[in-house]
């Protein structure tokens, strides 16, 4: 029985996924720099959205947490600690730590606000004076990935809560004058099918990047995808062994990029070009400028460079801006192509 208990269900290897380069790149950059603000993945059914998201979570190195802490608190980073752990640090208490897999939390469509944010036991607080908090999915997702499938079908106010927490890194629950606050730093990944309705523009704008995926049309690629999946389903451990070296190589590239990121610079001239593109495209607010700068830096770090090049901006800018353009129902040109035209005219190599 104990042997069965220790056997975790194998996850399809990230490096075995064929095609869908936009989605893979957006996920990798958000993992390198979670402050990019998450990814919205829109595309056809059955294109491997969920498989890819689970695969990226499985690829990440284990994280160090304070043992028995409800919020996966970091033992030394103040920003990633719950208030209880901070109090213990201030009292010079020794913290026991352990290593866990990066949390990957699925948010079900029918989730309530209490299930997402957590609840305070009011009765116990009033009768015994003890502040008891039952953590929700945001607590479990701290320092991990929160995945919302069919995000366009989720209640708008819940999407608002998720985006607020993802942006601020904190979740606050208030009931009857009692308040509990805890860290909620996670990469928010939403996926959906455009046929089932679009997200409101103001919510869409809050996602850092927007990847569009289409069903592969090329017959030989389709055959390769089916073969890869069949191979994994019939013998997952052989498939994992086959991609072990590539997985380890990518894992170390991510770790190196995370270390390198704080030292990556982007020249003033390039920052001006990014803002010129955003201005020409009439992008509301400055979120587009900020996210493009961050994503370009993350890509430079991933490519083992300390300086952002024009090529980095060209690769990421469509992902960062296409969902921020104002939609004109009479416009025949796709928003991604519109971004590309402006980029090509302003960023001449």
Between 328 and 217, the higher pLDDT residue: 217
- In this structure, the number of other CB atoms found within 10 A of the CB of residue 124 comes to 12
For all residues of the chain together, what is the average pLDDT?
81
Say whether both 134 and 197 belong to one domain: yes
CA dihedral 262, 263, 267, 270 (to 10 degrees): -50
Last residue of a domain, which of 220, 246, 281? 220
User: 171: which DSSP letter?
Assistant: E
Say whether both 266 and 339 belong to one domain: yes
Last residue of a domain, which of 153, 188, 220? 220
Q: Judge whether residue 29 has pLDDT over 90.
A: yes
- Residue 84, in any domain of the structure: no
- Residue 247, in any domain of the structure: no
- The answer to whether 115 is a known catalytic residue is no
Say whether both 199 and 134 belong to one domain: yes
- Residue 96, in any domain of the structure: no
Say whether both 43 and 141 belong to one domain: yes
**CA dist., res. 317 & res. 129, Å (int):** 52
| Structural element, H or E, at residue 105 | strand 104-106
Say whether both 141 and 290 belong to one domain: no
CATH code of the domain containing 328: 1.10.8.80
Q: Out of 137-146, 217-226, 271-280, 312-321, which region has the weakest mean confidence (pLDDT)?
A: 217-226
Confidence of residue 30 (pLDDT cuts 50, 70, 90): very high
Q: Which residue has the tokens 């961050």?
A: 294
Q: Residue 125: its pLDDT value, please?
A: 60
What SS3 class is residue 112? coil
**Cβ distance 156 to 145 under 8 Å?**
no
Q: What is the pLDDT of residues 1-11, one digit of tens each?
A: 444 444 567 88
- Residue 333, in any domain of the structure: yes
Q: Residue 195: its pLDDT value, please?
A: 75
Q: Residue 5: its pLDDT value, please?
A: 43
Q: Residue 74: its pLDDT value, please?
A: 84
Say whether both 40 and 157 belong to one domain: yes
Say whether both 152 and 26 belong to one domain: yes
Question: Domains in the chain: how many in total?
Answer: 2
Q: Judge whether residue 203 has pLDDT over 80.
A: no
**CA dist., res. 250 & res. 252, Å (int):** 5
Domain containing 269 equals 261-346
Say whether both 283 and 342 belong to one domain: yes
Q: Residue 285: its pLDDT value, please?
A: 79
Last residue of a domain, which of 189, 220, 251? 220
- Residue 273, in any domain of the structure: yes
Q: What is the pLDDT of residues 61-95, one digit of tens each?
A: 888 888 877 888 888 877 787 777 887 878 888 78
Of 206, 287, 322, 324, the active-site residue reads 287
Q: Judge whether residue 124 has pLDDT over 70.
A: no
Q: How far is CA 6 from CA 64, 97, 114, in A?
A: 20, 21, 32
Q: Residue 302: its pLDDT value, please?
A: 93
Say whether both 112 and 44 belong to one domain: yes
Q: What is the pLDDT of residues 270-314, one digit of tens each?
A: 999 889 888 888 888 788 889 999 999 999 999 999 999 888 988
CATH code of the domain containing 155: 3.40.50.300
- Residue 208, in any domain of the structure: yes
- Residue 121, in any domain of the structure: yes
Q: What is the pTM of this model?
A: 0.84
Q: Residue 306: its pLDDT value, please?
A: 92
- Residue 313, in any domain of the structure: yes
**Cβ distance 310 to 271 under 8 Å?**
no
Confidence of residue 345 (pLDDT cuts 50, 70, 90): confident
User: 152: which DSSP letter?
Assistant: G
CA dihedral 85, 90, 95, 101 (to 10 degrees): 40
Confidence of residue 123 (pLDDT cuts 50, 70, 90): low
Say whether both 279 and 210 belong to one domain: no
Q: What is the pLDDT of residues 153-184, one digit of tens each?
A: 888 788 888 888 887 888 888 777 777 788 88
Q: In percent, how much of the chain has pLDDT > 70?
A: 91
Say whether both 270 and 160 belong to one domain: no
Q: Residue 332: its pLDDT value, please?
A: 44
């Amino acid at each position: 029985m104990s042997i069965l208990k220790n056997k975790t269900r194998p996850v399809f290897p990230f490096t075995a996924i064929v095609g869908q380069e936009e989605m893979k790149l957006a996920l990798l950059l958000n993992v390198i720099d979670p402050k990019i603000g998450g990814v919205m993945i829109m595309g056809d059914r059955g294109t491997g959205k969920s498989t890819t998201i689970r695969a990226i979570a499985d690829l990440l190195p284990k994280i160090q947490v304070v043992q028995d802490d409800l919020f996966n608190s970091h033992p030394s980073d103040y920003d990633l600690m719950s208030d209880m752990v901070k109090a213990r640090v201030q009292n010079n208490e020794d913290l026991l730590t352990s290593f866990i897999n990066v949390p990957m939390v699925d948010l079900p469509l029918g989730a309530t606000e209490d299930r997402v944010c957590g609840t305070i036991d009011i009765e116990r607080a009033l009768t015994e004076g003890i502040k008891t908090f039952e953590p929700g999915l945001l607590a479990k997702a701290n320092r991990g990935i929160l995945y919302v499938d069919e995000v366009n079908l989720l209640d708008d106010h819940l999407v608002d809560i998720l985006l607020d927490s993802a942006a601020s890194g904190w979740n606050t629950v208030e009931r009857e004058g009692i308040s509990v606050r805890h860290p909620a730093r996670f990469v928010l990944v939403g996926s959906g099918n455009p046929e089932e309705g679009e997200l409101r523009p103001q919510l869409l704008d809050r996602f850092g990047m927007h990847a569009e995926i289409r069903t592969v049309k090329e017959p030989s690629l389709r055959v390769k995808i089916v073969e890869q999946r069949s191979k994994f389903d019939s013998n997952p451990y052989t498939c994992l062994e086959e991609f072990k070296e590539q997985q380890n190589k990518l894992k170390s590239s991510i770790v190196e990029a995370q270390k390198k990121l704080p030292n990556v610079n982007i020249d003033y001239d390039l920052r001006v070009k990014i803002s010129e593109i955003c201005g020409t495209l009439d992008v509301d607010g400055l979120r587009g400028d900020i996210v493009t700068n961050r994503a370009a830096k993350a890509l430079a770090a991933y490519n083992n460079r300390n300086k952002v090049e024009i090529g980095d901006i060209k690769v990421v800018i469509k992902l960062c801006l296409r969902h921020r353009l104002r939609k004109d129902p009479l416009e025949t040109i796709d928003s991604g192509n519109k971004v590309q035209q402006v980029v090509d005219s302003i960023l001449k190599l």
